[in-house]
Amino acid sequence: MTYNNSIALSVIILSAACATTPSDPPPSAVLDISAKSCGPSIDLEDWIALQPEKKRKQHSVVVPVNSEAPCFTSETGNRNYALMKLPDHGKDELVITIGGYKEAVRTLAASVTILREDGSLRRAFEDGDYMSRSNARAIQFRPREQDHFILVETDPAMVGDAVSTVAQNLTSRQNSVYAGGGYTASYSTLRGSETSSHRTYSHEGAVLVRMQALSGHIGIPE
Partner 1 sequence: MLKYFVLGSTILSTAACATPYTPIPFDSDITPVETIQIVDDSFSDEPTTQKLATNGQNMASAMAASAGLAGALVGAVAAGVEANIEAGQRRRIQDALDTVGFDGETVFDEALAKALTERDYELDALSIDRKSYRQLIDLEPDETAAVDMATLDIAGAGYGYQLIGGSTQWRPFVSAEVRLTSTNDPENILMLNRVVYNPVATPDVIVNLSPEPKYGFVSVDDIEADPQLAAEGLTVALVSTAEAIAQLLNRTTITGIAAEVADAASEDEVVATVAGTDAIKEPNSEVNSEMSEPINAVAEAEPQAQAEASEETEATTDSAPGIEADDAKTSDAPEADPEVENDNNDV
Map the footprint of partner 1 across residues 129-148, applying CB under 8 A: 129, 131-135, 140-142, 144
Q: For the window 45-64, what string marks contact with partner 1 as x by the rule CB under 8 A?
A: x-xxx-xxxxxxxxxxxxxx
Q: Which residue lies nearer to partner 1 by CB, 7 or 121?
A: 121
* Residue of 137, 140, 118 lying closest to 205 (CA atoms): 137
29 binds partner 1 (CB under 8 A): no
> Do residues 151 and 126 make contact, with C-beta atoms less than 8 angstroms apart?
no
Per CB under 8 A, the segment of 4-12, 13-21, 28-36, 70-78 that binds partner 1 is 70-78
Q: Which residue lies nearer to partner 1 by CB, 4 or 53?
A: 53
At its nearest, how many Å lie between partner 1 and the CB of residue 9? 31
User: Which H or E run includes 4?
Assistant: helix 3-18
Angle at 133 between CA 143 and CA 67, to 5 degrees: 85
At its nearest, how many Å lie between partner 1 and the CB of residue 89? 14
28 binds partner 1 (CB under 8 A): no
How many chain residues touch partner 1 (CB under 8 A)?
100
User: Which H or E run includes 165?
Assistant: strand 162-180
Site for partner 1 in 153-192 (CB under 8 A): 153, 164-170, 176-177, 179-181, 183-192
* Residue of 130, 141, 143 lying closest to 102 (CA atoms): 130
Please count the CA atoms within 13 angstroms of the CA of 158 that sit on its side-chain side: 21
Among 101, 108, 201, 219, binds partner 1 (CB under 8 A): 101
| Angstrom distance (rounded) from CA 15 to CA 13 | 5
* Residue of 70, 34, 27, 26 lying closest to 156 (CA atoms): 34
At its nearest, how many Å lie between partner 1 and the CB of residue 78? 10
